Amino acid sequence: MILSLCGMMGCGKSSTGAALARLLGWPFLDLDAVIEEREGRSIPEIFAADGEAGFRRAERAALEGILDAPESDLVLALGGGTVLTPACADLVRHRTCCIYLRTSADTLAARLQDQTDARPLLQTPDVPARLAALLEDRESLYETVAAHIVDTDGLDPETAARTIRDLLP
């Protein structure tokens, strides 16, 4: 089974995914890291050279590559905007068991206040307003692809991971 984690930047996809993989004894992949490895460039470099559209193409190719040759069991942390590409949303919905890590805009802003450098979409003077706007745009997409929703406000990654494990059959 491929367990994927979706949700906004700062919701804890990578840290919770790594903790969940440890709990289950499964491999863990972070889609952003796979994109960087395939491209030989950092995410800010891809956005700077190719724009968001170019990044989304690279993201889709990386996701398709993972799902074409899946490990038997895998925990996969998606990017915050993966589900914006309809083909990616379809893949996530139909080929993975997706968990939406739901997090309030206030919590996201607090968690990300010193972590905006590697995030091209947060290069703005008003990060909390940008996060709130992105969340409003994306929330229904996350809900559509998700098999389960876990509220992560106030949860550390280990607790979130145990919560997800307990949801699984």
Residue ranges binding ligand S3P (CB under 6 A): 9, 13, 32, 43, 79-81, 119-121
As a whole number of angstroms, the distance between CA 1 and CA 70 comes to 9
- Beta carbon of residue 80, minimum distance to ligand S3P (angstroms, whole number): 3
Shortest distance in whole angstroms from residue 107 CB to ligand S3P? 14
Distance CA 75, CA 98 (A): 10
The residue with tokens 């997409």 is: 141
Alpha carbon distance 140, 135 (integer Å): 9
Residue closer to ligand S3P, measured from CB, 82 or 163:
82
CB of 169 to ligand S3P, least distance (A): 27
From 85, 80, 123, 121, select the one nearest 102 (Cα to Cα).
80
When the beta carbons of 32 and 39 are compared against ligand S3P, the nearer one is 32
Q: Which is nearer to ligand S3P, 81 or 157 (CB)?
A: 81
